[in-house]
Amino acid sequence: MGEVRAKLRVTAGDRAALGRNRPSSTPGAPGDRDATEAAIPPLDEELSELQTRLWAEGRRSLLVVLQALDAGGKDGTIRHAFQGLNPQGTRVTAFKAPTPEELAHDFLWRVHQATPAAGEVGIFNRSHYEDVLVVRVHQLVPTKVWRARYGLIKGFEEALHEGGTTIVKLFLHISKEEQRRRFEERLTRPDKRWKFNRGDLEERAHWDDYQEAYAEALARTSTEAAAWYVVPADHKWYRNWAVTSILVETLRELDPRYPEVEGIDAMEIP
């Protein structure tokens, strides 16, 4: 396993995973902010090359699940950490509160439709995990129903894995203080105001409930087939480096190959 993954990976059953690295820590970083930022462009380049090979090979896929509390940096991660990805072959799906049609189906229905096809990289901005997080915190379904979902999620992810999809799940871990700073920025900066949402303040009041819901979800669903990583995310420069590193390490291990083309040596262009 790659170095960064080994440092941030959640061990199955570990309910204390959120406490292992502080949100402001920088495990494995090549140095201070400047040194870490300088390490990103070569990683972007390698990510791009690896993704091109995945696409050309056209047999396997990569699914990246992004979860975080509000202002945790999901959008910024998609903008910066996935810079090396080619839009062709990349599909980003954001999961909002379910529509009436989605609610009329089982909770995995909308998710399954958005999974990456062979050759693709799929990115989930929120995911089926909301169904054991926000749904649990606000008791949108009975306890018995969301409790059963840990097992259903594991089975679902295992089916994707068996079908050739590698799954990487990232929890962007910010501190409550950092969330306050980011909310304040949203209130005061004209270019950030559009992100401010009154509902986010209500959610902040449930901070401890969310920490508990995350701790349990990560412990119960970090598996061999689909591991969780807790990415300390108070420092955006560290978060971007760490996320890019995790993707590069994962794709290096997959080692996608350009396909052989039969008889190509004998071909002539008329």
Residue 97 interacts with, from ligand AMP, Mg ion, none (CB under 5-8 Å by kind): ligand AMP
Min CB(184)–Mg ion separation in Å: 15
CA–CA gap between residue 54 and residue 67 (Å, rounded) = 24
Q: Whose CA is closest to 124, among 154, 164, 84, 169?
A: 169
CB nearer Mg ion, residue 62 or residue 133: 133
Exposure on the CB side of residue 171, measured as CA atoms within 13 A: 31
DSSP annotation of 208: H
Q: In what order do the strands lie in the sheet with 90-94?
A: 90-94, 121-125, 61-68, 165-173, 226-232
Task: For 217, list phi and psi in degrees, rounded to 5.
Answer: -60, -45
Interacting residues with Mg ion (CB under 5 A): 70
Between residue 1 and residue 40, which ones bind ligand AMP under the rule CB under 6 A?
none
Residues 126-145 that bind ligand AMP (CB under 6 A): 126, 130-131, 134-135
Partner whose binding site includes residue 234, from ligand AMP, Mg ion, none (CB under 5 to 8 Å by kind): none
What distance in Å separates the CA atoms of residue 217 and residue 132, rounded to the nearest whole number?
7
Interface stretch with ligand AMP, choices 78-86, 125-133, 142-150, 204-212 (CB under 6 A): 125-133
Is 46 or 185 the residue whose CB approaches Mg ion more closely?
185
Q: How far is the CB of 98 from ligand AMP (least distance, A)?
A: 5
Site residues, ligand AMP (CB under 6 A): 95-98, 126, 130-131, 134-135
